[in-house]
């Protein structure tokens, strides 16, 4: 069955530091992969998605993610974090039917 694991429940980084959020997936075929961000009390905003092609995907707000089939990973990165990036981040996989499977999320705290 398709599933997504986000190993880090909570990450704290200093403003200006680099960021990497981990995501591992389990899926039998080539996956569709996504990263969403959720600010407190808000809905989910799509940061980026991978369907095929170039394994390094650029998204909004300066985020990027790299698909590594050998590691079943789709980690999210940002070279320099801003205080406004503090939020909950969800990795998701398109499950091949009609739904997406989400990870449990990683909460990002940004220290001044």
The residues that touch other proteins, with contacts defined as CB under 8 A, are: 4, 32, 34, 36, 41-46, 49, 90, 92, 94, 97-105
Q: Name the residue among 26, 29, 34, 30 with its Cα closest to residue 4.
A: 26
- Minimum distance, C-beta of residue 96 to other proteins, in the bound complex (Å): 9
- Quote the CA–CA distance of 47 and 60 in Å, as a whole number: 5
CB of residue 15 to other proteins, shortest distance in Å: 26
7, two tokens: 């190993």
Taking the least distance from each CB to other proteins, the nearer of 14 and 51 is 51
Decide whether 15 or 72 has the Cβ nearer to other proteins. Answer: 72
Residues in the chain: 112
């Amino acid at each position: 069955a398709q599933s997504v694991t986000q190993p880090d429940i909570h990450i704290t980084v200093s403003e200006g530091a680099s960021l990497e959020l981990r995501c591992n997936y389990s899926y039998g075929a080539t996956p569709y992969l996504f990263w969403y961000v959720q600010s407190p009390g808000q809905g989910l905003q799509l940061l980026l998605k991978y369907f095929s092609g170039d394994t390094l995907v650029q998204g909004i707000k300066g985020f990027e993610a790299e698909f590594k089939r050998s590691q079943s990973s789709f980690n999210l990165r940002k070279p320099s974090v801003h205080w406004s990036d503090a939020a909950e981040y969800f990795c998701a996989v398109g499950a091949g039917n009609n739904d997406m499977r989400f990870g449990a999320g990683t909460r990002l705290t940004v220290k001044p």
